[in-house]
Structure 1
């Protein structure tokens, strides 16, 4: 099994960061971005974390056999998953709990994912697209 699992993060928003924009209008802009694929808005994604495909099952197996593991196993089943604000607490708890039993390499991936989840927590319009890619 050669390839990789790529965590791509929303890297650019089409939002004018004008300080004069009222808060209510800013919320409308963020909402429009959140539903943008229905309106023809294109998201700009950039790779934020890469895991070798052959290492993926062992990394995910360190998670408790609960909802978080099932969510991450979706990459293998469906080829991709989306991680958004609604998944932050679930995944952060599971990956944090798994750190103690992970290898140093798995810990580095988990810590980077935890950092990305914190970014989503701070900015709900940000999300991750996780895709498996075969060579």
Structure 2
């Protein structure tokens, strides 16, 4: 990791955000006040694999502030794919974790020495591992990490 990357982490505008971890809890089709022609298009799009008309219901499972988030991910190896994925929040203010990310992230976070983590970082690691386990058991689920201005 070069000096520019380290500097960009510490100056990210998202360090001032409240970071929320939203887990998909359910989905439903919003059919309210929809003309019949539009319903037919929506059902066809669902049949071919598109999610037009699907509403995702997200539940906030845990949170921290941006500084705590940065301190937490500092436990990951800086050259790892897990660090790159999690650092995306500091760049974009939002990341999404899908089933294809769970093994890589779970392995990386399980390797962090618990003795080097703060109490908050330990709770975040434990919570993330639990959520990743839930995604493994239900592959239609995903996790969105999103910042909101405090």
Q: Which TM-score tier does this pair reach, normalised by the shorter chain?
A: 0.7 to 0.9
SS at match of 2:54: coil
SS at match of 1:42: strand
Gaps of 5+ in 2: 1-14, 30-45
Corresponding residue number in structure 2 for 1:12: 26
Count of matched residue pairs: 117
Using CA pairs under 8 Å that are at least 6 residues apart, name the structure with larger relative contact order, 1 or 2. 1
Gaps of 5+ in 1: 16-31
Moved over 4 A (4+): none
Matching of residue 94 in structure 1 with residue 105 in structure 2: no
TM-score where L is the length of structure 1: 0.79
Aligned-residue offset at 1:112? 0.6
Q: 1:67-106 counterparts in 2 under 5 A?
A: 67-100=81-114, 101-106=116-121
Residues in 2 aligned to 1:45 and 1:7: alpha-carbon distance in whole angstroms: 9
Matching of residue 51 in structure 1 with residue 64 in structure 2: yes
Residues in 1 aligned to 2:103 and 2:85: alpha-carbon distance in whole angstroms: 13
TM-score where L is the length of structure 2: 0.71
Q: Is the 8 Å Cα contact of residues 99 and 107 (structure 1) preserved in structure 2? A: no
Matching of residue 117 in structure 1 with residue 123 in structure 2: no
Cα 1:68/1:61, change in 2 over 3 Å: same
Matching of residue 39 in structure 1 with residue 13 in structure 2: no
Residues in 1 aligned to 2:109 and 2:85: alpha-carbon distance in whole angstroms: 12
